[in-house]
Structure 1
Amino acid sequence: MKFINGTNRNQLPLFASSIDDAIAQDNEIRLIVLFVDSLKLADFGFTFDFVENGRPAYHPSDLLKLFIYGYLNRMRSSRTLEKECSRNIELMWLLKGLVPDHNNIANFRKNNPKAIARIFRATVKLAAHFELIGGALVAGDSTKLRAQNSKKNNFNPNKIERHIAYIDARLEEYNSALAKEDGDVLEKQILVKKIKKHSIQKQKYIGYQNTIDTTGVTQISTSDPDSRQIMTRNNISEVAYTVQTTEDALHNIPIDFKVTNENDSKAMGGMLRRTKTILGHNNFTAIYDKGYHTGSEFDYANRLGVDVLVAIPCVSAHAPDTAFDVEYFKYNTETDTYTCPANETLTTNGNWYAKKNGKSITQMKHYKTSACLTCKLFAKCTKNAKGRLIERSQYADLIYQNKIRIENNYEIYPRRQAIVEHPYGVIKRQWDFYYIMTKKTIKNASADVGLILSAYNLRRIFNLIDHNLLKEYLKRLSQYFAILTALFNAFYTLFYFENEKMAFIKKNFNCSLNPIYLLTD
């Protein structure tokens, strides 16, 4: 029976081809090279000044190409990338046979979080050049990426208290047993060893509690200090980071990101400010879900001049009869009063009261009426024995304006989920990047997220733009930077030698540095 056979491994080909011939001209790896070569990496913040002694360093462009290729092909581990460099023909071509050590690979990512964030900005600019950024409608949201820190190694005050209580119970038990022990030396040694072990553990937890009390942090993570235990979905919590992103609606391309360890309630204002800077104008509409519905953030958006559509959360507390919920109380702006469903008027004394919600403080006015106590509908309206009390926030007008905008743009808001979930679906489901690869500080996490989103943007650009057109643009861009670099080097060399010449004249001829002397050879 005949089968298709391969070539003899020990036989050399008659016409040996170069490794470049093994890489197809339409392979996207060539686009990665052109993209990185089109960037002036020294301006991005990558380190180029290395000491002359010792082994030479790898060029930042080579390591950046390696990481972009790795993230586009679902490889983030430095050890995996090191292994692939010696067996993956595409990486052999990409790095020209270089095989960086996994420590060098990992340190490049760890040491360049700001530069990597600028690489992400470069992908946004590339998308904008090809008109892939609309700039009229954006959507903001967040996703949780699990940190390199287990729940076991995350502590809050309640958890610390439970651990200390458990240890105290065990210590009392062991001390009682030790007091009753009368002759068995081995048993005494075992009890003493257990008491010492638990005492050390107790001191560790007391140290954690002191740190929380003195620094004001709410949690302590021992493996990744900046990570926090956060609710992810359906009352399931993970020790994770929150990644805030802003996506443009035209092609679902992220234009901004920020890694935090906090929830969404205070994130909208800062992300809108950054979006305004990136787009260069405030003539856009931003869509957010109900997690961003915060009065102070509406105030921030209003000061930026940005229209936002934020989903309205459900009422947190209902009246005994839902027909008497606060939304059915009509506010009169001219008289600064409320009218209840029973047609009674609730007035205010005009004083503002500070109400603390977490770390934030909001000013409130109170509205009430004496008619409550004689009202026949009292039992349906409130359980408060003193009558119904309405609180009005200092941001109530802005919250109401958001409600009107949603009612007037009911066809726009439903697009939010399709816009923001597209990148998350690709990154977390297709690429399996549901966790942070790096550990130790939020800066390292930002570097990982920056590479993830840079790879995602490049994938979108590669899919949406004709490769030949993209190649031509990137080639011209790289040639432009090459010319600028050559001119800079020429001027620098001329300036250096002229300074050397002036110093030589001053030293040997003891004359002033009048330009007339520079005219002579």
Structure 2
Amino acid sequence: MKYITGKDRKQTSLFPISLEDSIDADNSVRAIDQFVDQLDLKELGFRLDHIENGPPAYHPSILLKLYIYGYMNRVRSSRQLEKECRRNIEVMWLLESLAPDHNTISNFRKDNAKAIKKVFFATVQIARNFGLIGATLVAGDSTKLRAQNSKKNNFNQKKIQRHLDYIDHKLEQYNRALEQSESDDEKEEIKKDIDTHQGRRKQYQQLEKELNESGETQISTSDPDSKHLIIRNNITEVAYCVQTTVDAAHNIPFDYLVTNENDSKAMGQMLQRAKSILGTNTFTALYDKGYHTGSEFKTANQLGIETLVAIPGIGRASQAPDPGYNSENFIYNKQQDTYTCPQGNTLKSNGSTYKGRNYRFKQYKTNKCKNCPVRDLCTTSKINGKVIQRSEFQQYIEDNAQRILKNPTAYKKRQAIVEHPYGTIKRQWGFNYITTKKTKQRASADVGLMFIAYNLKRIWNILKRPSTAHFELYIATIRLMDSIISAIALFLEQNTKKQLQLMY
């Protein structure tokens, strides 16, 4: 039986004569090379003025090309990238056979978080120049990326106190054992155990001091900026929360922000950033119920941006025995500042405002509750009867509910828009954790490279589709290379230094 046979390993013509001949004309590595070469790296914030004495440094373009290639091919580790420089022919071509060591590679990502963010915005501008960002419908959401900090090395006051109580209990046991011990060897062993536990006690006391001084509710020892967050349902991790805004036209992210907080106070800030980046407020923004916060609706209203935010269910404590008597079924009269219940009774306020957790509110009630025939269906309160709280932001909340009713199909698009990048980055590429360690800024560099790789790959894939209007452009510009050069040139021409420093 005949088989396909390989070439003799000893022959001299195993590879093409040059690296150039080894790389196809439409290989994406050529696009990475052209993309980085057209960027003004000094303007973006990369350091170019290195001291002459000592060994020469690598140009930042070399390391940026290596990282973009690595992230596009699911390689983030600096040690793995170091290996690729010596065994991957595409990387050899891209870096012109240079092979930086892993410390140089790692330090580049660690030291250039702000500049990497600006490179991300360069990819956004390319997408805009090709008409891939519609700026009419956007969706926002967040995803949690596990930090390089175990749950064991994350502490709050309760956890620290539990450790201190345990140590104190053990010290009591050791001291009693020391008093009862008669052997000198045994006493020495017990004293060693006492010293060990006293040392641990000092460590936890120091953690407690740092926690109190920080004003935070928790402290992480391996990655100080990471926080213990709820991932989904009852699953928790020490992680970072990455806020993202995605344009609906082609599911291209145009903004991201690495935080260590939940979603409740994020919408206003992300909308402000979106308005600055897109240069308009005429778009509609979609968010899930985690962003349903009155103060954030007020911010959106002040920005003039229409939002559609999913309405969360009523908490169990606020539910009436009969859902027909829930507070949303009480009619508010704005002129008289009163509520009318389903039985036709009027609930009034005494005019005072009370301080809630993050807002102020009024209370509305009526003495008709005492003799109301349906009281048991309306409230479980035995003394005050039905009491309705109206937040200072209630009007903005009700306006959002009306927008949801008028646009029932619009909100349904949210998940398909914003989850597309997450599905690619986390599930397909496996980037569900932060690879850097220590500080939110370094984590931002890691996330920035993820979105740079995603945007470039997304743009190139869209332009290569035969069914798109861009296909003729793609064919006429030598497999995308000249198109990217033109787009970047336009980007550099249209954007001033102030615009480059817009968001980071």
Q: What is the TM-score with the length of structure 2 in the denominator?
A: 0.92
Cα distance in structure 2, aligned partners of 1:123 and 1:404: 36
Contact persistence 2:122–2:488 (CA under 8 A):
no
- The residue aligned with 2:104 is 104
More deviation, 224-233/332-341? 332-341
Q: Give the CA deviation at 1:480.
A: 8.7
Q: Give the CA deviation at 1:473.
A: 2.4
Cα distance in structure 2, aligned partners of 1:363 and 1:444: 38
Contact persistence 1:247–1:253 (CA under 8 A):
yes
More deviation, 135-144/338-347? 338-347
Cα deviations across residues 279-299 of structure 1 (Å, max 9, x unaligned)? 101000000000000010001
User: Which residues of structure 1 form unaligned runs of 5+?
Assistant: 484-521
Q: Give the CA deviation at 1:30.
A: 0.4
Cα distance in structure 1, aligned partners of 2:492 and 2:284: 40
Cα distance in structure 1, aligned partners of 2:404 and 2:45: 42
- The residue aligned with 1:325 is 326
Q: How many residues align?
A: 478
User: Which residues of structure 2 form unaligned runs of 5+?
Assistant: 465-473, 494-504
- The residue aligned with 2:240 is 241
Contact persistence 2:286–2:414 (CA under 8 A):
yes
Cα distance in structure 1, aligned partners of 2:367 and 2:14: 103
More deviation, 371-380/385-394? 371-380
- The residue aligned with 2:48 is 48
What pairs up with 1:250-399 in 2 under 5 angstroms? 250-316=249-315, 317-356=318-357, 361-384=358-381, 385-399=383-397
Q: Give the CA deviation at 1:342.
A: 2.0
- The residue aligned with 1:114 is 114
Change (3 A) 1:45 1:378: same
One-letter amino acid matched to 2:107: N
Cα distance in structure 2, aligned partners of 1:210 and 1:67: 40
Cα distance in structure 2, aligned partners of 1:370 and 1:185: 79
- The residue aligned with 1:447 is 445
Contact persistence 2:122–2:491 (CA under 8 A):
no
Contact persistence 1:438–1:445 (CA under 8 A):
yes
Cα distance in structure 2, aligned partners of 1:232 and 1:224: 18
Contact persistence 1:40–1:481 (CA under 8 A):
no
Cα distance in structure 2, aligned partners of 1:191 and 1:101: 49
- The residue aligned with 2:468 is none
- The residue aligned with 1:499 is none
One-letter amino acid matched to 1:474: I
More deviation, 377-386/239-248? 377-386
- The residue aligned with 1:426 is 424
- The residue aligned with 2:484 is 474
Change (3 A) 1:197 1:65: same
- The residue aligned with 1:488 is none
Q: Give the CA deviation at 1:479.
A: 7.8
One-letter amino acid matched to 1:458: L
Cα distance in structure 2, aligned partners of 1:200 and 1:277: 52
- The residue aligned with 2:467 is none
Cα deviations across residues 239-283 of structure 1 (Å, max 9, x unaligned)? 000000000001110010000000000000000000001110100
Change (3 A) 1:323 1:14: closer
Q: What is the TM-score with the length of structure 1 in the denominator?
A: 0.89
Change (3 A) 1:162 1:481: closer
Cα distance in structure 1, aligned partners of 2:94 and 2:377: 73
Cα distance in structure 1, aligned partners of 2:78 and 2:140: 31
Q: Give the CA deviation at 1:352.
A: 1.5
Cα distance in structure 2, aligned partners of 1:461 and 1:420: 16
- The residue aligned with 1:221 is 220
Cα distance in structure 1, aligned partners of 2:255 and 2:313: 29
Contact persistence 2:139–2:248 (CA under 8 A):
yes
Change (3 A) 1:482 1:448: closer
What pairs up with 1:23-62 in 2 under 5 angstroms? 23-62=23-62
Cα deviations across residues 147-167 of structure 1 (Å, max 9, x unaligned)? 000000000111111111111
Change (3 A) 1:104 1:137: same
Cα distance in structure 1, aligned partners of 2:492 and 2:50: 22
Cα distance in structure 1, aligned partners of 2:187 and 2:39: 70
Change (3 A) 1:257 1:482: closer
Cα distance in structure 2, aligned partners of 1:482 and 1:294: 39
Change (3 A) 1:323 1:67: same
Q: Give the CA deviation at 1:234.
A: 1.9
Contact persistence 1:256–1:275 (CA under 8 A):
yes
| Partner SS, residue 472 of structure 1 | helix
One-letter amino acid matched to 1:197: T
Q: Give the CA deviation at 1:94.
A: 0.5
| Partner SS, residue 131 of structure 2 | coil
Contact persistence 1:244–1:260 (CA under 8 A):
yes
Cα distance in structure 2, aligned partners of 1:247 and 1:327: 32
One-letter amino acid matched to 2:90: E
| Partner SS, residue 3 of structure 2 | coil
Q: Give the CA deviation at 1:322.
A: 2.2
Cα deviations across residues 40-94 of structure 1 (Å, max 9, x unaligned)? 1111000001001001110011100000000000000000000010000000100
One-letter amino acid matched to 2:61: S
Change (3 A) 1:315 1:15: closer
Cα distance in structure 1, aligned partners of 2:306 and 2:441: 31
One-letter amino acid matched to 1:463: N
Change (3 A) 1:478 1:151: closer
- The residue aligned with 2:83 is 83
Cα distance in structure 2, aligned partners of 1:60 and 1:329: 63
Q: Give the CA deviation at 1:465.
A: 1.0
Cα distance in structure 1, aligned partners of 2:160 and 2:374: 48
Cα distance in structure 2, aligned partners of 1:199 and 1:88: 53
Q: Give the CA deviation at 1:208.
A: 1.6
Change (3 A) 1:170 1:94: same
Contact persistence 2:16–2:22 (CA under 8 A):
no
Cα distance in structure 1, aligned partners of 2:15 and 2:193: 74
Cα distance in structure 1, aligned partners of 2:439 and 2:6: 51
What is the percent sequence identity of the aligned residues?
Answer: 56
Q: Give the CA deviation at 1:13.
A: 2.7
Cα distance in structure 2, aligned partners of 1:480 and 1:329: 56
Cα deviations across residues 129-157 of structure 1 (Å, max 9, x unaligned)? 11100100000000000000000000011
Contact persistence 1:34–1:478 (CA under 8 A):
no
Cα distance in structure 1, aligned partners of 2:293 and 2:322: 26
- The residue aligned with 1:4 is 4
Change (3 A) 1:328 1:14: closer
- The residue aligned with 2:500 is none
Change (3 A) 1:410 1:481: closer
Change (3 A) 1:15 1:334: closer
Change (3 A) 1:476 1:336: closer
What pairs up with 1:137-176 in 2 under 5 angstroms? 137-176=137-176
| Partner SS, residue 135 of structure 2 | coil
Contact persistence 1:243–1:260 (CA under 8 A):
yes
